[in-house]
Structure 1
């Protein structure tokens, strides 16, 4: 059935371009150091703010990490947790793990720490009494919206998860109700690839969607 006449009309070219955008939305770890154009970050955050959220609560809280000392502390936290993670693998896998580039702290011109407010006034609690995790899921939706918006502008995003949330909260001195969801490195990619870096490094290949769809 075609969309209603008063709804948005997306051309075949747009739909094809959207599929291309999804395919090229890669986790970037290798950045150029040049800054984003003036106003670009604000533009991307405005688009990200259009993401859906439970009860229209918009629980995301975004910290733009500009202070170099704080960036260095975050990077030190990553290095500590990254080495601890490596030690969890057997020797051969640990060696391969240490060879992976898993973050772009040094080069990325923009660092964003994304938190989710665990008890926001906005939304009046709608939709989260039985599933309070919907707040964090909403924030993840915002992150993905930001990611696609950035990629559409030729900007790369790297999501760094090898961090201790409590340490990051302490470094950035955020509200006690805020839960760390993502630390993003943002900037222009040094190189472009349609396939994930972990596939190229032969760490883990993607599996077909059919292996993750179940019918009841």
Structure 2
């Protein structure tokens, strides 16, 4: 089995972390790898707000207030030493495609001209690359949605309104005694034959 195959097959969403910190240089290396994901026009229109150590409480106090934590299943998720928020920037794409080498596409006139939101696609690919890089570095990571109090979180962190928040990434060292998997973990993985439609639908 190749090293890449092993990284892909062994990657799991981690829901229990130790409080051990992660070297900022390691985070930088993960982001460097993530920045190499495909990007339309090499726009690279994504940002990552990174909260470290005690600063992660700013995220949890808004997205999961203390009153709701008693029934929260993944108590050690809150121990993750890093919470990173990936943000997609549509304006970066319209600006890039208004440049001379891309202007003929007509995509520089505004976000509505795009048939699909490549800023979301590209940021998502960067996030996936980040998750694989974390696995390769021996770290655990979890991508999850920010379903509550997004407006308050944006205000707290000064995130501009025009950036699309895709979710959050918890990053850190896995607990050796991590117990429990996600509720969907026992679902059967689809085979290639169930996914592929050769030569048409």
Q: TM bucket by the smaller chain? A: 0.7 to 0.9
Distance 1:208 1:27 in 2: 18
Q: How many residues align?
A: 180
State the 1:22 CA deviation. Answer: 0.5
Tell me if the contact between 2:52 and 2:83 (Cα under 8 Å) persists in the aligned partners.
yes
Distance 1:101 1:37 in 2: 24
State the 1:170 CA deviation. Answer: 2.1
RMSD after superposition: 2.9
Per the normalisation by structure 1, the TM-score is: 0.71
Alignment of 1:128-207 (within 5 A): 129-164=113-148, 165-191=150-176, 197-198=181-182, 201=183, 205-207=187-189
Q: Which residue of 1 aligns with 2:110?
A: none
Query: Between Structure 1 and Structure 2, which shows a larger proportion of helix residues?
Result: 2
C-alpha spacing 1:130/1:38, structure 2 compared with 1 (3 Å) = closer
C-alpha spacing 1:213/1:99, structure 2 compared with 1 (3 Å) = farther
Alignment of 1:51-66 (within 5 A): 51-66=37-52
State the 1:162 CA deviation. Answer: 4.1
State the 1:34 CA deviation. Answer: 1.0
State the 1:42 CA deviation. Answer: 1.1
Distance 1:197 1:26 in 2: 9
Q: Which runs of 5+ in 1 are unaligned?
A: 1-12, 84-97
Q: Which runs of 5+ in 2 are unaligned?
A: 108-112
Alignment of 1:66-145 (within 5 A): 66=52, 68=54, 71-79=56-64, 100-101=73-74, 104-105=77-78, 107-120=79-92, 123-124=96-97, 129-145=113-129
Could you list the structure 1 runs, at least 4 aligned residues long, displaced by more than 4 angstroms after superposition.
Answer: 125-128, 201-204
Per the normalisation by structure 2, the TM-score is: 0.75
